[in-house]
Amino acid sequence: MATYSPTQDQPSPPARWLENLFAKREARDYINPYLAGILLGLVLFGAFFVTGSGLGASGGLNRLVVFVEDLIIPAHVDRTPYLITMAGGDRNPLDSWIVFLTLGTIVGGFASGWLNGRVKLETNKGPNITPQTRWMMAFIGGSVMGFGARLARGCTSGQALSGGAVLSVGSWAFMFAVFGGGYALAYFVRKLWN
């Protein structure tokens, strides 16, 4: 006759550690937006002070893509003037502060989400659309933003934050255009959320 031991159903210590690490945590409130804005301004000042450049995201992601491209078709990279500046010859496109800023943003965002109980798989959408439609619209929107960032040779965060911080007239005009365009388009896509 077999006897039951309570330890048989219990996970091993490493499994228990992983279970506790990713177990559902109670979500904390978001930080006050004014305090968050002040903290972001201090981070931006620190970026200017330490690197001589502001904040941005598309440059780091662009360099990651060029790194993969240089592994697959290095001859194309060596023939394209725009790519030569990042990865031509013996240059490593990952040898830039913006790559580490981008990776730090990803790791920091995940760590913040985990510490505050917000790491979960979910699809935020309005009640009138399917998750597939929401994902399709997110893909289309992300593609348009990515194309626009490369066309403009910079992303909205770099343009608005870094350019706005140094009082660039073009950056301020860009910010007003982005917000105006967003409000104008919101009417047509409101059913995705309401």
Q: Please tell me the least confidently modeled range out of 8-17, 43-52, 92-101.
A: 8-17
CA distance 174 to 155: 11
Q: What is the mean pLDDT of residues 131-145?
A: 89
Instruction: Please name the residue that has the structure tokens 């201090």.
Output: 42
User: Alpha-carbon distance 67 to 62, whole Å?
Assistant: 9
pLDDT of the residue at 42: 93
pLDDT single digits (tens) 35-87: 999 999 999 999 889 888 888 777 888 899 899 999 999 899 888 888 888 88
Query: Could you tell me which residues come within 8 angstroms of residue 70 by beta carbon, excluding any fewer than 6 positions away?
Result: 77, 83, 87, 93
Q: Report how far apart, in Å, the C-alpha atoms of 152 and of each of 25, 42, 104, 137, 161 are.
A: 41, 26, 24, 22, 15
**What single letter denotes the amino acid at residue 133?**
T
Domain ranges of the chain: 30-120, 124-194
Predicted pLDDT at 2: 54
pLDDT tens across 143-182, in order?
988 888 777 777 777 888 888 888 889 888 888 988 898 8
